[in-house]
Amino acid sequence: MRLFRKRNYTEALRRHYKNYFGSSGNVRRWKKGPQDKLHPDFYVLEIAPNRVHNMWAYLTVGMSVDREDHNLIELVVYSPTQNESLVELLTLNASFHRNADALNLHHSVNIGQPCIHGSNCDHGFISLPYLDGEALEIFEFAGKRFHCYWFIPITERERDFKMEEGVEALEDLFEKRQFDYLNLHRPCLLQE
């Protein structure tokens, strides 16, 4: 009975994404790494450029499937191209969320490697989905409110800046420097 309810969660979340993006997307699973530490129904949904965004979207499905606390989140990351590394990135974050410290809004994460090959961004920042608003962010299921947050790859220096100056200062920096969130090979925004 409990497994059936969990499967209902992932099916309902996928419908939520389909309703928003207008696409069913493709189920992607990272074949390596912490598979045994993830819920068996977990996967990453890959959505090609569509009527909402002219970019690829990678979204977790089942990251918070059976959480009983207030850290009820799923993540989305965007890319100008199709990229298997982003499936790995979200899978590792989902494993961290389930097995170490729970992630939530405005948290930063040490990825431990570049988010994609050759990138300076080896950390991540969990933000409100400013590109999409509450239509994507809010997912109601079984009397609970889940949040689909934007995972933004950042550099270690940008993470340090956020830790020292605060979330608002980092977001102001993004705006001031006209942050190109799709350029995963961008230089650090704090470079002179």
pLDDT for 191: 76
pLDDT band at 3 (very low <50, low <70, confident <90, very high): very low
In degrees, to the nearest 5, what angle opens at C-alpha 42 toward C-alphas 40 and 43?
Answer: 130
What's at 65, amino acid-wise? Answer: V
Q: What is the mean pLDDT of residues 79-88?
A: 95
- CA-to-CA distance for 60 and 93, rounded, in angstroms? 9
The confidence score (pLDDT) of residue 2 equals 39
pLDDT band at 192 (very low <50, low <70, confident <90, very high): low
What angle (nearest 5°) sits at the alpha carbon of residue 66, between those of residues 62 and 72? 70
Average pLDDT on 59-81 reads: 94
pTM equals 0.93
Domain residue ranges in the chain: 2-176
The pLDDT value recorded for residue 125 is 98
User: Which of 129, 126, 115, 117 is closest to 162 using CA atoms?
Assistant: 126
Cβ proximity of 153 and 188 under 8 Å: no
In tens, the pLDDT along 10-69 reads 999 999 999 999 999 999 998 886 677 888 889 999 999 999 999 999 999 999 998 888
Closest to 60 (Cα-Cα) out of 79, 32, 41? 41
